[in-house]
Structure 1
Amino acid sequence: MNARGDYSEDGMIQKDAAAILGELGWSSVHAQAETEDRPHLTGRSNFTETVLTPDLRAALERLNPGLPEEAYRQAIDQATTHDHAKTLVAINQDKYELLRNGALVRFKDGAGRAVERRLRLVDFVDPDNNSFKAVRELWVRGRNYLRRADLVGFVNGLPLVFVELKRFDVDYHDAYKKNYRDYRGTDESGKQVAIEGSIEQLFHWNQFVVFSNGHIARYASITATSEHHYQWKRLDEDDPEPGKSTMQLPLLLRGMMDRARLLDIIENFILFDASEGALAKIVARNHQYLGVNRVIARLQSDDDKVKAELATGQLGVFWHTQGSGKSYSIVFLSEKIRRRVSAGYTFVVVTDRSELDGQIAGTYTHCGRAHAKDDQAQSGANLRAMLRDSNRSYVFTLIQKYRERVTEPYSERDDIIVISDEAHRSQYGRLALNMRKGLPNAKFIGFTGTPLIEAAEGNPPAKPAQ
């Protein structure tokens, strides 16, 4: 990307951003010349459309071949329509479920039998099986306004990434305050309020937004206020911290819009959390993405030394600084393992305080991934019964419920992962020994921001996961 002195015009940043995406395997379309009566460059029938229907139709046929016309029509209808009574974030959640899990369609096969099937909109495993298109200067007409977005990233015709760019000498935050807020619909505080955006339909499918002046670059979810705009700092866990003069936009684009990484982020690193009453969309931060994938790489490693460590239960330690989203990291990790490694895993989340137990169980519950009422152990006997249930996905418990002496294993399964939330000294004494005796083949990982585990206790920590 150009040196900072070359960033005199928005278009130059756009051009360089599109060039980087081209290196990453994206095609590029400059759509400024489109007119409302002939939006031929994007294949739309008019400017109100934000889904590139020809691209979506081609993807549906490619990913779900040999189906009747009715099946494809239903999937396209679900992609291009929405419930007008719902808020933008609720619509966005609906579209996310379609994107991640497919569109449920019903049709009759050649023998006249009723068939129900989910059609894939995206291939999350093979990036080459999808269409990635960066459209610059995209005209979009809302109910009362015509606007032009700087750059929109489409995957199989779906507008998944919105990028707003400014000149180098303009505060990147202006992209958020003066453009995005108008398009998206928020008040001057940036808070989630019932104000219609000028082109709100552009964000029905959005997975994250990017604001940049080339030097500074931040990303966020559609519900995030400015204090939750984040920098993508590293491509790899072992990369050095970027310097103050580092151009952040190229790093963010390579870190988040590399095709395989983008699909991974969308599939496994997005949550919708109702903990605070209003629904919030959560996109993983850089350290969460790298740390979770590092743990999973260790879990699936073919290295003999790592396999030997795993055989003794050592999955690792995941270090977190305070306020950096530890609970979400735990959810991201367990959910990706269940979706991408094996749905047969059971996760036992252990804390040492009722407050923490309720907090982590509540996070899972409000994100729709577990149910605190059913998945929290109420007693030692209840815990033992839950651990013997091979069909259970999650168990939340206090370490104190392992106080009874173990005479025989609760379960000898090797697809149990014990997550110690706020791992510290109390979990390396008698109670922890009972837990390991009860689950002799389980794998253990600690999540902590307080490295209090000392070799003097005779229990040195496993190799850190992050």
Structure 2
Amino acid sequence: MYGQESEQQLEEKLMSRFNGLGYRTISLPDETSLLAHFRELLTQQNIENLHHEPLTDGEFKRVLNELVGAKSHYQIARQLRGSDMNPMGKISIQRDNDETVYLTIFDGLDATNNIYEVAHQITVAGTHENRYDVTVLINGLPIVQVELKRRDVDFRQAFNQVIRYKSESMRGLFRFVQLFVISNGGETRYFANGDGDLNANFMFYWTDKENNWLNDLGAFSASFFTKERLHSLIAKYTIFDSAKERMMIMRPYQIYAVEAIMHQALNNPHKNGYIWHTTGSGKTITSFKASQLLARDTDAEKVIFLIDRNDLDVQTSKNFNSYMTTIPGEQALDSTTNTGSLVHQLQSHDNSLIVTTIQKMNNAVNNPHYKSLLTSYHDKRVIFIEDEAHRSQFGEMRKNVNRWFTNAQHFGFTGTPIFSQNIGPDKRTTESLYDEELHRYLIKDAIRDHNVLGFNVEQMGTIKGRDTISDEQVEGIDTQEVLTNDDRLNNIVNHIMLNHDNKTKNRTYNALFAVPNTTIALRYYELFQEKIKAGSSDLKVTTVFTWTANEYSNEQNQGTDNDTSRHGLDKVIDDYNQTYRTNFSTEDFKGYFNDISQRMKSHDSRTRNNNIDILIVVGMFLTGFDSPRLSVLYNDKKLEWHGLIQAYSRTNRVEKDTKSFGSIVNYRNLKAATDAAITLFSAGDESSFYVKKYDELLQEFIGNIKALHKITEQPNDVNDLYNQGNDALKKFVLAFRDVMRTNNQIRVYDEFKWEDVPGFSKQDLESFQGKYQEVYHQINPNKEKNKASILEDIDFQIDLLSTDRIDVQYIVNLIKAINLEDEDSRQADVNKIKQLLDKAATNDLKSKADLIAAFLDEMVPTLKTGDSVGDSLNAYLAKRRDAAVSEFAEDVKLPVDVIEKQIIETQFYGQADVNEMNKNLSTAGYGFKAKINIKKRIKSFIDDTIKRFTVV
């Protein structure tokens, strides 16, 4: 029925659906008509502020400059929404009579105060002329762009089309597009717009409240595009990361969870609730958004976002501040150790939302002095949001807080709730603590939606002759003696060293190694170091643990001497300082911990000297630590229930196409414990937890190779496909892409041998990869052509080649992440960036490499801890840009504001205002011939300036 449905038919049905939802269809054939329509609606909605005097041409130009100008998409998106507490998008301009007037462009509070329209086939001229399928407008601004493909075409081709449109023609008002929707009728996804490259891994499914996919375009649009839902997506359910200057759109289950919390808070204020969202699904973002809306839209005296101090590494703290603030560099998180600062915040009327730790709150309600200051809160309505509720909310501290705040409402977030099966000594479950479950999103849902990866779990026998017996139940012998035997530990180290590069794709990724106690951690560390010093390996291995007594379970404490552990860690840190040119000690344990955390997250395959390949841990990093670069967990400790799922889940964060799953290598027999935990936390459905078994994947790999050979038998035969046209090349691209995808999955299995693959070798794969890259570069969409190629819209998934891109965005991200905490780390980060600048391959990066290097030399040494490196870079580039404009203006004998105005015109409209330029040159006294030469110089300078000084 659907097979023959064309793209045009899909478009017509979608337009009809919009009409049924109350959108008005308007005809906007081109960009000029879009501008005219926006001008009309802007005047109409602000007519009283304008004193019934429509905008003049000059005033409207000022409006456009204020709206877009030289702003990044991040800045435009923030401007559209106003502030978190007052979400009204407004701008101010100066009228021709010097009066300042404020104009509303979007009402984020009341959906009905906005105008919703839809247009299709708007033609925009740019590098190439593009026609956009369907454009959704709010108040005349293009807010959502929908790109369609017919039903028998891979919907991801529309994603590549969006990328092409962004680079070729999405300028001016089209930079207001907040969301993209792509569909082939049967498969539909949505994703946020932004600066820099878009990532196909962050295309989201839309679902109902029970997490059922709404993939069909009709079902999707009937839910997603209602006016109220679209308004909420724009006004409420976006997150701004001020550190990375990016806008993120929330996933449906996150939205439904926030709405469930808001409903409970507004309608059942005396009843608690919890959200069961699996580890890795973005609970922190969900809880942040819930906190913001509770503070804004309820009558609670205070909303307190309560976290466990032990979950706060340096990067997490930065993320908290990035999400909670509107100004880069501003601190929202109360990170001081002084409880008095928390009490001061509670007493203040300036902030209704507070972020603090449960430890500090416990101190406040137990200290007699502070309790007297907090008497007024004893019975006032306070709402607590508690992240990672499975760990921090079951002890005495939570009871103390409850006793003090008698009129409090609690909302908890957990990926692994406490049930009767995994109950602790206090005999309390998550439901008994939080009253009722408000929303759930399980690990099976997250794996299905590609929000997290599945797992490959390997059980390695380590006790000779007893591989079928649980390592925990060896009869007739001292189990601990066997498990800690030097020969066994040495064999495990040898196994890790032999397989690590393969499992981590040549250290593109890194690993945790979980062990039972600090004594074993140090023994493993010493074994690794002995082999590394002997030249057996160049792995970077370290360990981190706390020596505080009684911090871990009985097994973890067995054989542990706290003084010995601390002395051992002193030696580890000395080695660490030599390796990474740092200066830590156990006296500065927090600095050491934070540096490890940063290195584990910013692992970089290009500069291995700065990496940590394997981090040996006892309890730290096994919960709450999120890093897409972590892909392997080696495990030699007993794990069960929520502890097992939490530890496994460190490895399954989505990164790019080369990371197919999280790898778990158990050196203890945890098969039964794993099955039990999966059953419990998947609500009985464990079907999607595991990735394919080796034999199954091997057959898929062989089948994909056979399909490739039907198209081209040998790598050199690819050359003949160019003569057969685009269809032949397309078949090769799709077939070899499948080969690469399965190769990336199967290569990390210990069992894999190329001998198992008939008629195909590693050399064949590499030769085909070379041909694949040639095809990719031959049809590069940025290449000038008279006719667009069908291959431009194919998803090449070039990341499958494991190529590392060093571009402007990559370098800028590294600059923003420079560690200002100590001089050694700062200089190490600077040196790393300079090395990459020397290898600049893209013309864009080459054009600004000297500017960036100058910033690293001149400004970074002057920055202080807490400064925003990103803000400093922007300020430095602005200063250098102003100097360059002034120098050029003086050279061509024109006022600086004339050059600046032409730069703005070019950025907004894609070209300079030639008529205005002629007038300025005539005023400056230039003759006809001289004008021609100067105009060329001005245009060249403008293009170079925009390219050279723009880094977003």
Asked if these proteins are the same fold (TM beyond 0.5), I'd say: yes
Q: How does 1:7-406 map to 2 (within 5 A)?
A: 7=5, 9-29=6-26, 31=28, 34=29, 45=32, 49=35, 52-61=38-47, 67=51, 69=53, 77=61, 79-81=63-65, 82=67, 84-97=69-82, 100-105=87-92, 118-142=102-126, 144-177=127-160, 179-185=161-167, 197-223=168-194, 224-234=198-208, 237=209, 239=210, 241-242=212-213, 247-275=215-243, 278-301=244-267, 306=268, 310-311=269-270, 314-341=271-298, 345-356=301-312, 361-369=317-325, 371-372=330-331, 375-401=334-360, 402-403=362-363, 405=366
Hey, what's the Cα distance between the residues in 1 that align with 2:407 and 2:101?
38
Listed one character per residue, the Cα deviations across residues 60-105 of structure 1 (whole Å, up to 9, x for unaligned) are: 33xx567353789899556522565444444444444499423243
Match of 1:451 in 2: 417
The question of whether the paired residues in 2 share the 8 Å contact of 1:453 and 1:460 is answered with no
Q: Counterpart of 1:102 in 2: which secondary structure?
A: strand
Higher relative contact order (CA 8 A, sep 6+): 1
Hey, what's the Cα distance between the residues in 1 that align with 2:175 and 2:292?
24
* Alpha-carbon offset, residue 300 of structure 1: 1.3
* Alpha-carbon offset, residue 218 of structure 1: 0.5
The question of whether the paired residues in 1 share the 8 Å contact of 2:154 and 2:184 is answered with yes
Listed one character per residue, the Cα deviations across residues 14-69 of structure 1 (whole Å, up to 9, x for unaligned) are: 111111111111112355xx4xxxx6xxxx6457x4963223322333xx567353
Hey, what's the Cα distance between the residues in 2 that align with 1:325 and 1:333?
13
The root-mean-square deviation of aligned C-alpha atoms, in Å, is: 3.3
Distance 1:376 1:116, change over 3 A: farther
* Alpha-carbon offset, residue 330 of structure 1: 1.6
What is the TM-score of this pair, normalised by structure 1? 0.78
Match of 1:5 in 2: 3
- Among 399, 414, 431, which residue is 2:397 paired with? 431
Q: Counterpart of 1:120 in 2: which secondary structure?
A: strand
Distance 1:92 1:385, change over 3 A: closer
* Alpha-carbon offset, residue 374 of structure 1: 6.2
% identical aligned pairs: 23
- Among 404, 413, 416, which residue is 2:382 paired with? 416
Listed one character per residue, the Cα deviations across residues 291-319 of structure 1 (whole Å, up to 9, x for unaligned) are: 11111111111xxxx3xxx33xx331122
Hey, what's the Cα distance between the residues in 1 that align with 2:55 and 2:438?
44
Hey, what's the Cα distance between the residues in 1 that align with 2:408 and 2:378?
8
The question of whether the paired residues in 1 share the 8 Å contact of 2:59 and 2:94 is answered with no
Q: Counterpart of 2:272 in 1: which secondary structure?
A: strand
For 1:216, give the aligned amino acid.
Answer: E
Distance 1:372 1:123, change over 3 A: closer
Q: Counterpart of 1:428 in 2: which secondary structure?
A: coil
* Alpha-carbon offset, residue 126 of structure 1: 4.6
Hey, what's the Cα distance between the residues in 2 that align with 1:284 and 1:252?
16
Match of 1:188 in 2: none
* Alpha-carbon offset, residue 207 of structure 1: 1.6
* Alpha-carbon offset, residue 464 of structure 1: 1.9
Q: Counterpart of 1:4 in 2: which secondary structure?
A: coil
The question of whether the paired residues in 1 share the 8 Å contact of 2:155 and 2:183 is answered with yes
Q: Counterpart of 2:26 in 1: which secondary structure?
A: strand
Hey, what's the Cα distance between the residues in 2 that align with 1:439 and 1:116?
48
Hey, what's the Cα distance between the residues in 2 that align with 1:115 and 1:316?
52
Q: Tell me which protein shows more strand as a share of its residues.
A: 1
For 1:398, give the aligned amino acid.
Answer: T
Q: Counterpart of 1:281 in 2: which secondary structure?
A: strand
For 1:261, give the aligned amino acid.
Answer: R
Distance 1:319 1:67, change over 3 A: farther
The question of whether the paired residues in 2 share the 8 Å contact of 1:71 and 1:107 is answered with no
* Alpha-carbon offset, residue 225 of structure 1: 0.7
For 2:199, give the aligned amino acid.
Answer: T
The question of whether the paired residues in 2 share the 8 Å contact of 1:132 and 1:153 is answered with yes
Distance 1:154 1:146, change over 3 A: same
Hey, what's the Cα distance between the residues in 2 that align with 1:73 and 1:105?
16
Distance 1:265 1:74, change over 3 A: farther
* Alpha-carbon offset, residue 324 of structure 1: 1.5
Distance 1:430 1:204, change over 3 A: same
Hey, what's the Cα distance between the residues in 1 that align with 2:62 and 2:398?
50
Hey, what's the Cα distance between the residues in 2 that align with 1:216 and 1:168?
9
Distance 1:50 1:270, change over 3 A: farther
Match of 1:440 in 2: 406
Q: Tell me which protein shows more helix as a share of its residues.
A: 2
Give the unaligned 5+ runs of structure 2. 440-952
The question of whether the paired residues in 2 share the 8 Å contact of 1:75 and 1:105 is answered with no
The question of whether the paired residues in 1 share the 8 Å contact of 2:89 and 2:107 is answered with no
The question of whether the paired residues in 1 share the 8 Å contact of 2:211 and 2:253 is answered with no
The question of whether the paired residues in 1 share the 8 Å contact of 2:190 and 2:204 is answered with yes
Runs of 4 or more above 6 Å deviation: 70-75, 114-117
For 2:309, give the aligned amino acid.
Answer: R
Distance 1:73 1:393, change over 3 A: farther
The question of whether the paired residues in 1 share the 8 Å contact of 2:180 and 2:192 is answered with yes
Task: Find out whether 1:463 has 2:420 as its counterpart.
Answer: no
What is the TM-score of this pair, normalised by structure 2? 0.40
* Alpha-carbon offset, residue 247 of structure 1: 4.6
Hey, what's the Cα distance between the residues in 2 that align with 1:50 and 1:253?
28
The question of whether the paired residues in 2 share the 8 Å contact of 1:295 and 1:465 is answered with yes
Hey, what's the Cα distance between the residues in 2 that align with 1:394 and 1:460?
23
